[in-house]
Amino acid sequence: MPEDELEDLPGVGPATADKLVENGFESYQSIAVASPGEMSNTADIGESSASDIINAARDAADVGGFETGATVLERREEIGKLSWQIDEVDDLLGGGIETQSITEVYGEFGSGKSQVTHQMAVNVQLSKENGGLEGGCIFVDSEDTFRPERIDDMVRGLDDEILADEMERREIEGTPGNEEAMEELVAAFLDQIHVAKAFNSNHQILLAEKAKELAGEHEESEWPIRIVCVDSLTAHFRAEYVGRGELAERQQKLNKHLHDLMRIGDLFNTAILVTNQVASNPDSYFGDPTQAIGGNILGHASTFRIYLRKSKGNKRIVRLVDAPNLADGEAVMRVQGEGLKPE
Binding-site positions read: 107-114
Between CA 65 and CA 73, with CA 69 as vertex, the angle to 5 degrees is: 110
Q: Which residues are annotated as part of the binding site for ATP?
A: 107-114
Work out whether strand 290-292 and strand 339-342 pair parallel, antiparallel, or are unpaired. unpaired
Largest Cα span, the chain: 64
DSSP labels, 71-135: HHHHHHTT--EE--S-HHHHHHTTSSEETTSEEEEE-STTSSHHHHHHHHHHHTTS-GGGT--S-
Q: What are the b/e assignments for 103-127, b being 16+ CB within 10 Å?
A: bbbbbeeebbbbbbbbbbbbbbbbe
Q: What are the b/e assignments for 177-214, b being 16+ CB within 10 Å?
A: eeeebbeebbebbeebbbebebeebeebbebbbebbeb
Query: Residue 181: in which H helix or E strand, if any?
Result: helix 179-191
Question: How many residues can be counted in the chain?
Answer: 343
Q: Which of 231, 222, 213, 216 is nearest to 191 (CA)?
A: 222
Q: How far is CA 102 from CA 50, 119, 262, 305, 307, in A?
A: 28, 17, 7, 9, 14
Separation between Cα atoms, residue 93 and residue 73, nearest integer Å: 19
AA identity, residue 231: D
Q: How far is CA 94 from CA 118, 185, 213, 217, 298, in A?
A: 21, 30, 30, 31, 22
